[in-house]
Chain A
Amino acid sequence: MPSLKDLRNRISSVKSTKKITSAMKMVAAAKLKRAQDNAEKTRPYARKMSEIVNSLVENNKSKEFKFSEKKTKKTRNILLIVCSADRGLCGGFNGSIIKFSKKLSEKIINDGGQVSYIFVGKKAYQSLQRFCGDSILDFFSDIANPSIKFELAGSIRDKILELFLNDSMDECYLIYTEFKSAISQTVQSLKLLPLNALEINNDNSSNKSYDFEPSEEEILNEIIPKNIAIQIHTALLENLASEQGSRMTAMDNATRNANDMIDNLTLFYNRSRQALITKELIEIISGAEAV
């Protein structure tokens, strides 16, 4: 049985842990608000862009253009862009991203494909480093400091387009966490390249016949890279919001657990104290009786 002093120490250490977790929760909540706002601000741009691209790709279904699927190769080279957080202490956030990417790449390898990676965020990079070996093409960290820049998405986009156009990569997926609410996020993969019309859902395309200047093809070639950049940008923003949301819930749970622990320990401490007093009393009384 621990002594009273041990118990007191333990209670005070749990209390200080609780202080830290509740402060982290507060910080995460503030950051979540900002991240959510940022994510919402990019939505009009992304929506409009995908509307235009959808109707263009829909019109060009039969034709083969620069970014459509290549039919020549048999072994597929697949690029995964894995977005995770730079820091831990956010519940299962990084863990589920890592698990998801591992599963996906194992599936691709089993199907006879080759996988290469670009990492955004330290956590997934660190834990998948050994698993990936030397197929890591690039690694970005500290992206959200002070805020996510659109230029970052642009540079990732340039990189993947270069790979795609010089035939060293056939497909590209983006793995990120979709932000549903502060307590619910799901890991998702999004296909960036190649574009094929079949997968694009055309719910609102009223089949407008546009007048193009310059030609339709040139516009398509200009607009698709832009669309990819904005998709990456939105994914990064959503990922950040998810990270903060996940951290908030994790820290909230931790604070609550610390509270429970403090209650139990205090109860135990008081009981032991009482037991000690009773014991001493009994000793004194029985000593007095003996005399």
Chain B
Amino acid sequence: MNRADVLGPVRPEKAPPSGRRSRRSATLVTGCVLAGLIALLALVSLFWLPYPADDTSGGRLAGPGDGHLLGTDKLGRDLFTQVMTGSRIAVEAGLGSVIVAAVLGVTLGVLAAFAQGWLDDTLAAFLDILIAFPTLLLAMLIVAARSATLGSAVLAIGLAQSAVVARLVRVLVKRVLAQDYITAARTSGTSWPRTVAGHVLPNIWPTLVVNLALQFGLAVLAEAGLSYLGLGAPPPNASWGRMLQEAQATFTTAPAGALAPGILLVLLVIGVNLIADGLRDTLDPATRGRRA
């Protein structure tokens, strides 16, 4: 079977121009380098930090240098240490949310695709409502019901994103189910679960993976936003969002406190988006054909 079956009419596959191919891989490589850098920081922070996380010996708002690469915050804590811890929280938030979104979203999306008649309409409407529901409000509800932890934030973001994933999966699966080979598989006696596992999922994963990569970037931003509002990882965890919030008042006198987490946040999100872009070009023949 042809993967192009997944998205609409089959197009004749043209070989892309060679320059296009290299630009495509350049996107992917740049993305991997940027995101990899942050991932490396996060990984190292598990084993080594320049200063203990709660060491307040640095002096108030010390500038960069003098034993502190990026300087210190109001309480005298090393900023580089915090930025490293923050990168770990960002990666955890991104991965956690995407896993929640993927598991829930795919399950819900596949079920919705199989639903018929009024149930189908109801599910579609439900997903639309969930998408329209602000992530922030959802997060506040969850935080109120549980407490402000990274887990609550991840759950809220994952839930909100699962609706987006589910809607996409529903459309993708519906298209696959309309294909002749599904009818053939069913006629030959393959059960629905086996059909889904063997024929449907393999045909939707390229689009799905690209979407999940995009969701990862959005989840990192959402977690920073929640932490900025005090709804994410509780202090003293140095989430980038919290660091930005704390540095806001001192931005004019000690800009490093806001610049460091801000720049890393941008780098990670750009990196992940570039990866998504590169993956789409590489994995998705439909867009490859169109954009070439």
Q: Does chain A bind chain B?
A: no
